[in-house]
Amino acid sequence: MKKTLALAGTALLVASGAFAANTLTVVPGAAMNGTTQGLSVNLDGSTNNVYVESAHPNNETHYRARFWINPATTAINAQNKSIRIAGLGDDVAAQHVLLFLRRNGSDNSMRLNTWYKADTGSFVSGPGMFLMFQTNINQPRQVEIEWTAATAPGANDGSLFVRRLAPTTAEESITGLDTDTLQVDNYRQGLLAGSGANATGGAYHFDEFESYR
């Protein structure tokens, strides 16, 4: 089942302090794929959390989200540094899939990276996707994230896929995951968990969020 959400208009805005430095704004300049308004995540190097959240997922063992993203004017302060932009969460086990925008070290390209957790243990690096070159990063891309829980204890058949759908297609994945105790109960987009310290300014844009079960 597909659900298209205007996250910025309907979801909860959360910040760690009363005077948030990183901010979210809904502006025409962030619109992509023919829409008239999009979400601009504005960065200034501060570490406060600021995000919108969809709580429409409910005990999902299979979850897929599509969205358009544009690194736009994002300024990340060094090669191989990143900002944490989104996460899939479990109401009990908290965030267990995280998405990053990372400035790649070898060619300054911009990359969408993931971390994930299994049933036990810490976050480890997952699949990622090159988006565009740092010399011309102001280009929209449509991305899909698909997560599936393992079917039973010891089955180890969970998976995580990252796909670029437009304007060109590509896919990276990891399978064989031990994730039978996890589920998806929420999706967050913005700037998460203090990673804004790796940004010196600018903004990235987000639009056309679609949620599937």
User: What's the mean pLDDT in 42-67?
Assistant: 94
Cα–Cα distance, 150 to 47 (Å, whole number)? 34
Structure tokens at 196: 């804004």
Cα–Cα distance, 183 to 58 (Å, whole number)? 8
Query: Is the sign of the CA dihedral 87, 90, 49, 51 positive or negative?
Result: positive
Cα–Cα distance, 129 to 124 (Å, whole number)? 16
Which CATH fold would you assign to the domain 2-212?
A: Jelly Rolls (2.60.120)
| Average pLDDT over the chain, rounded to an integer | 88
Structure tokens at 160: 């995580």
* DSSP-assigned beta bridge partners for residue 23: 42
Question: Which amino acid appears at position 50 of this protein?
Answer: V
What are the residue ranges spanned by the domains of the chain? Answer: 2-212
Structure tokens at 16: 């760690």
Note the pLDDT of residue 191.
95
Per residue in 133-182, pLDDT (tens digit) is 666 778 899 999 999 999 999 999 999 999 999 888 999 999 999 999 99
Cα–Cα distance, 23 to 202 (Å, whole number)? 11
Note the pLDDT of residue 96.
96
This prediction's pTM: 0.88
User: What's the mean pLDDT in 94-122?
Assistant: 89
CA 62 to chain centroid, in Å, comes to 17
Note the pLDDT of residue 2.
46
Note the pLDDT of residue 14.
42
Beta strands (DSSP E) in the chain are: 2-5, 14-15, 23-27, 38-42, 50-54, 62-70, 75-76, 82-90, 94-103, 110-116, 124-125, 129-132, 141-148, 158-166, 170-177, 186-191, 199-201, 203-212
Per residue in 56-77, pLDDT (tens digit) is 999 999 999 999 999 999 988 8
Asked whether residue 12 carries a pLDDT value surpassing 60, the answer given is: no
Cα–Cα distance, 209 to 54 (Å, whole number)? 10
Note the pLDDT of residue 4.
47
